[in-house]
Structure formats: C-alpha cells, structure tokens
Structure 1
Amino acid sequence: MELQLPEGLVSPGRAFTSMPRKRQRVQTLHNAPCKMVLLESTEQNEPPSSCSEEQNPKMSRYFQNLKVRLPSEFYNQPCIELAKSFLGQVLVHKLPDGTELRGRIVETESYLGGEDEASHSRGGKRTERNVAMYMKPGTIYVYQIYGIYFCMNVSSKGDGAAVLLRSLEPLEGLDMMRNYRNGRRHEKAKPLKDSELCNGPSKLCQALDLNKNYNRRDLSDDQDTWMEAGSKILDQDIVSCARIGIGSAGEWAKKPLRFYIKGNKYVSVRDKVAEANS
C-alpha cells in the first residue's frame, strides 16, 4: 500500500493474517442516498423513523444542536450511508479533567470490507488488529501508523465495514486542541490556523487526544467518547470522490468512497473535478 504523509489521509490498509469469510456483494457506489435515522419521539417503544422532513414536518431532535448523544441504532447503517450521515454530526472527547473537546465531522471515507481492496478486512480477513471492524455498528476502531500517529474509524452495518473519520471543524476546546497538536510540531513552526487543527485523520486524533486506548469502545455508551446530533447535510452539498493514499488498491483506488461537505474550509483535500461534477 502507498501511504501519504500522516498529516493527510491514511486509510485502513490490508491486514496481515487471514480467516476465510463469505465475501460480500458490494453495494452500488454511485448515488447512494444519505440516510439519517430520525427519532421524532422520546417514548421508549416508538420505533425510529426514516421519513423525510416533508413526510414528517416535525424537526428531528438529531438536528437541533442540543448535545444529544446519537443512539446505537444510528450507526446500524450500510457503510456508505453511514459515512454520509456522519457529515454534520459532532464528535466529542471528554478529557480526564472533565474538559470536552468537540468537532463537527466534515469529511469521511467508507471501507466496505470483503471485496474492498483498500480495507483492513479485505477478503474477510480478521486479525487482532482489525477485530473492531467486525464488532457491532458504532464500535471505535483506532489503529496506529508509523508507530506514532493514530486514525479513528467507526464500524458500520456489514461484515468488516467501517468509516474513517478524516476531518473535523473544531467547535469547542480549540486552545486544548492546539496544545495537543503543538506537542508534535517543531517549536519554530508557524502557528496553526483553526482550519489546520483537525484537517486530516491523524491530525484530528492528535487534536482530540485519541489513541489506541479508545479502540473497541462503543460510541453509543462510552463515557469518554461519543457523537452528538449536529446539522443535517443535504445530498447536493456532499461531494463524493476517490479516497486518498490507496494507490495499490487497483480499481478500488478510483471508487467514489470519500465524502465531504462542499465548500467547507476544514476539509483536508478538495477534489475540484468532483465538486464541479456534483
């Protein structure tokens, strides 16, 4: 696999040991709908609704910025849909002193498992390293690159499938994020702009102080790391393009499995051709 510099994308690569598993049929990659799991009521026995706002005019509590934790069923979506649904949601990490760091997700990538040549779970491989990709949807998968950097993924519906969190728009705790980032930079380096704090998978893990200690945790009930309801991103505002740093993945290197919010300055790498086509 060809890896880019750790400040950019580092995708879940191939695992090392294998265990035969049934290969999945890959879902259609183009024009996949952006599905949100909506809860219009807080009553325990009322099932979640997937209706549109036109069908359900009452605004979902997922889009009211009330710091509402996303529940377990939100993550139980196919990988591509979940990657799109993450856009606009808020990732939160609570530090030991109680400080909460928040960032809005603006860029993601899907790794479909099975036939996906760029996935750690390619061919159904299951290892000690990638086992989180096979756990319940919403499980955190953190892996290390170059021995010092970390990348955070979230398991989705589908065997061995997960979404890489690529970039965040920092919302809360920016001074602390900057301190964490500066701890890994040369003392004479230029001061970081807000847009540079979390614009890459290893950068966002540095800024939020996320490491392998958070691997295999469940976002729906973990006390230190979770996701909250954010803003709804419409399909026309989502750019779909090729993933980065997976040049050895053959035809999979060109599939449009990276998603980001069009026009957002916190995105790591823009694809102007894909933007024009969108």
Structure 2
Amino acid sequence: MAGPGLEAGDPRGRLRLGGDFFGRPCVGLAKALLGQVLARRLPDGRELRGRIVETEAYLGGEDTASHSRGGRRTARNAAMFMKPGTLYVYQIYGLYFCLNISSQGEGAAVLLRSLEPLQGLEAMRQLRLSQRKGGHPPAKPPKDWQLCNGPSKLCQALAINRTFDQEDLASAPDLWLEPGPEAPAEALVCSPRIGISGDWAHKPLRFYLRGNKCVSVVDKAAEQAT
C-alpha cells in the first residue's frame, strides 16, 4: 500500500507522489521538493530521472517577481491558478522553457531550477546538444553535473516544452515525481532568487541542497548564515 502522498506508479512497481504531496503552501512545497526525483518517459520508452536539488518559490499576489503578481491572470499563466500539482511551463527569450509546479495559494508556484542527473544521462546529453540554437555545437559536450544545472537546461535535458503546460503532475503519463531520500535540515540553504529585481529581490525564496555540485549558483553568504 502506498503511504501518504504516494500513489501506485507504473507497472514496474515504482511509486509516484500524488496530489496530496502538492497541497501545501508555496514555500513549504519548494522545500519539500528538494530530494524528490523527477522522472520523464520519452516517446521511445526511455526513462530519464533527476533528483531535485534547487527550487524557487513564487508566491503570487504581492510577490512582484511572480507572473501572477497583483492577481494578474492571463492565458499564459493560467496553470498558476489551478489545483496544486499543475505544471506551468513558459518560454523565455522565445527560445527556452522553464518548469513550475503550482502550490496552495492564489497564483503561487515553484520553479524547478536544477536537477542532479540519475538515469539516462547520455540521452540527456543528446537532447541538450540537439536543442542548441543556431546549430552551433558547444566547444565541449556538457559534463554530467552540467546537464540540468539551470531551469532551461533541465527542460532541454528532459525534452520538456509547452505541451506539458497545465498537466497534472500527479497523473501525467510521461512526467511524474518519485519519492527520494529525505534531505537533512542542515543541508537546506535559503537564499535570494536569481535574476530578481525590485522590492522582492532579497527575499530568501530560493532553496537548494548544500554541497551539491549540480546547484546552478552557490550563495556563500547565505550558506554561512543558514
């Protein structure tokens, strides 16, 4: 029998995190996601997995850095107002995608910033290389720890695009969460979000696992204060 927040997974007996897991306030979900495993089934049946090591919380409403600031609703951000666990996938610079998961709270969602690759690393590398814009290959293929160490990189490595927008992560057939080892409290680092300006620039709403090489940006000051 599956435990709290868990549901039966695929026929191979894996468990997936169900709807109850996502039904918590945004900051709580951003922290709880650390250590969980994001799994992706490609159209050819190959499965990719990565451990979540970095997240950011976007609280909606008063959060001026959120796409839903001031209660703003658009066709683009509709997923942020849907039930917890809904995927919000948006495009930046007209090129790259970012993956978010809605939480409790009006217009609140968590951005997945970095994964530690666990399974399917060569497929991830191929996907990263195949999605290079302009057809220019990098000087060197990305190393293992570089495959998913940023929000757009992880979407490239797992072939995630706008087709996943508004899907329910608790039931989506090709993208799901599996329980990972619980991260110890002392491993959690709270720091300001990346690339944020304005009144909310210094809010400690980015969370990552201390000492993990796959984190996109290490904040030494925040680590000393945590």
TM-score > 0.5, shorter chain as reference: yes
Aligned to 1:201: 151
Report deviation, 1:244. Answer: 0.6
Tell me the alpha carbon deviations over residues 148-195 of structure 1, each in whole angstroms, 9 at most, x when there is no partner: 100000000111000000000000010000001112343351121101
Q: Secondary structure at the match of 1:252?
A: coil
The structure-2 alpha-carbon separation of the partners of 1:170 and 1:42, relative to structure 1 and needing over 3 Å to count, comes to: closer
Q: Distance in 2 between matches of 1:165 and 1:264?
A: 15
Extract structure 1 runs of 4+ deviating beyond 3 A: none
Q: Secondary structure at the match of 1:150?
A: strand
State which of 71, 88, 108 in structure 1 corresponds to 2:35. 88
Q: Give 2:69's aligned amino acid.
A: R
Indicate if the aligned counterparts of 1:167 and 1:268 stay in contact, CA closer than 8 A. yes
Paired position in structure 1 for 2:189? 239
- Match of 1:168, SS state, is strand
Q: TM-score, normalised by structure 2?
A: 0.93
Residues of 2 paired with 1:163 and 1:71: CA distance? 16
Offset at 1:231? 1.1
Amino acid aligned to 1:264: N
Could you tell me which runs of 5 or more consecutive residues in structure 1 were left unpaired when the two chains were aligned. 1-40, 50-59
Displacement of 1:67 in angstroms is 3.5
Question: Which of 255, 260, 265 is the aligned partner of 2:213?
Answer: 265
Distance, in Å, in 1 between the alignment partners of 2:109 and 2:194 is 16
Contact 2:125 2:141 (8 Å CA) reproduced = no
Using the TM superposition, give the Cα deviation of residue 234 of structure 1 relative to its aligned residue in structure 2, in angstroms.
2.0
Rg larger for: 1
Aligned AA (2:67): H
TM-score (structure 1 length as normaliser): 0.76
Q: Which amino acid aligns with 1:203?
A: K
Within 5 Å, give how 1:242-257 maps onto structure 2: 242-247=192-197, 250-257=198-205
1:6 — aligned with what? Answer: none
* 1:30 counterpart residue number: none
What's the CA shift string for 1:125-163, capped at 9, x where partnerless?
A: 010000000001000000001111000000001110000
Following superposition of structure 1 onto structure 2, how do residues 124-135 of structure 1 map, counting pairs within 5 Å?
124-135=71-82
> Contact 2:85 / 2:169 at 8 angstroms: preserved in 1?
yes
| Contact 1:67 1:229 (8 Å CA) reproduced | no
Q: 1:227 corresponds to which residue?
A: 177
Quickly say closer, same or farther: Cα 1:253–1:197, change in 2 above 3 A: same
Change (3 A) 1:217 1:188: closer
Q: In structure 2, what residue type is equivalent to 1:151?
A: C
CA distance in 2, matches of 1:107, 1:219: 18
| Cα distance change, pair 76–188 in 1 and its aligned pair in 2 (3 A) | closer
Indicate whether 1:151 and 2:101 are aligned.
no
Question: How many correspondences in the alignment?
Answer: 218
Paired AA for residue 217 in structure 2: V
Identity %: 61
* 1:112/1:161 contact within 8 Å kept: yes
Would you tell me which structure has more strand in proportion to its own residues? 2
The CA distance in 1 between the partners of 2:138 and 2:87, in whole Å, is: 35
**DSSP-derived class of the 2:55 partner:** strand
Q: Which AA in structure 2 matches 1:116? A: D
